């Protein structure tokens, strides 16, 4: 992803000492790049969406009909919430080493506080929070720069059409009412 000021200014932390709230900073070779505070806010947005999807999982599952552009122009069913959760976890597992993944799992997924995580993993407080910031930065960058379909921006993930522009799917014509009520056979309880 090509980072510009218009992409990063809404995600940047106002109190960031590196970018001063703009979201862009210069790297060693003088080229502009997104600040780490932008990647941390991207991670937090993706984590919040993951938690929303996990909360919805027990209540209901929405299935959407998606159109795939190409020679065959197929239509397929998608479960976006479950797909997002799987992508979020698989990218995290592949990108993080063992200790980072343990902190990610305990602190972010299971919601343990820093004291419990430090006791469980064997870290002191300073190293734990440095590790938390490093995890947020690495995963935020990965979620936004993932190819071919990044997890962030979230609206593009949940509303994108595979292989092209969005085209509405034509629904079937409505059925004529026959006046009969469909009553399926029921098994008798003895």
Which sequence spans correspond to the domains of the chain?
A: 40-159
Residues in the chain: 190
Q: What are phi and psi of 187, to 5 degrees?
A: -75, 135
* Residue 61 burial (C-beta neighbours within 10 Å; 0-12, 13-18, 19+): exposed
Give me the phi and psi of 25, to 5 degrees please.
Answer: -145, 160
CB 72 within 8 A of CB 162: no
**What is the per-residue pLDDT for 125?**
93
Phi, psi of 38 (to 5 degrees): -70, -45
The pLDDT tens digits for 161-178 are 555 555 444 444 455 556
DSSP element (H, E) containing 33 = strand 32-34
Backbone angles phi, psi at 64, to 5 degrees: -115, 150
Tokens of residue 166, six digits: 């969005």
What mean pLDDT, rounded, does the chain reach? 81
pLDDT at 168: 47
Predicted structure pTM score: 0.75
Enclosing H/E stretch for 24: strand 24-26
Contact yes or no for 181/32 (Cβ under 8 A): no
**CA gap 66, 79 in Å, rounded:** 10
In the block, which residue shows the tokens 């014509």? 173
pLDDT digit string (tens) for 14-34?
Answer: 888 888 888 888 777 777 888
Q: Pick 129 or 78 by higher pLDDT.
A: 129
Reference 41, options 68, 62, 67, 14; nearest CA is: 14
DSSP annotation string for 141-157:
HHHHH-SSS-S-SHHHH
> What's the rounded mean pLDDT across residues 124-152?
92
């Amino acid at each position: 992803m090509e980072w510009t000021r218009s992409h990063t200014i809404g995600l940047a932390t106002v109190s960031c000492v590196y970018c001063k709230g703009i979201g862009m900073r210069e790297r060693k070779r003088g080229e502009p790049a997104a600040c780490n505070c932008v990647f941390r806010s991207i991670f937090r947005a993706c984590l919040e969406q993951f938690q929303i999807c996990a909360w919805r999982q027990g209540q209901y599952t929405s299935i959407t009909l998606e159109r795939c552009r190409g020679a065959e122009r197929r239509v397929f069913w998608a479960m976006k919430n479950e797909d997002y959760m799987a992508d979020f976890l698989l990218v995290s597992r592949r990108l993080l080493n063992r200790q980072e993944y343990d902190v990610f799992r305990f602190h972010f997924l299971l919601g343990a506080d820093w004291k419990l995580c430090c006791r469980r993993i064997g870290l002191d407080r300073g190293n734990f929070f440095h590790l938390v910031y490093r995890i947020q930065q690495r995963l935020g960058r990965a979620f936004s720069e993932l190819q071919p379909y990044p997890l962030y921006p979230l609206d593009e993930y949940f509303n994108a059409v595979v292989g092209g522009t969005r085209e509405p799917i034509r629904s079937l014509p409505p059925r004529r009412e026959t006046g009969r009520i469909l009553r399926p056979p029921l098994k008798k309880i003895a």
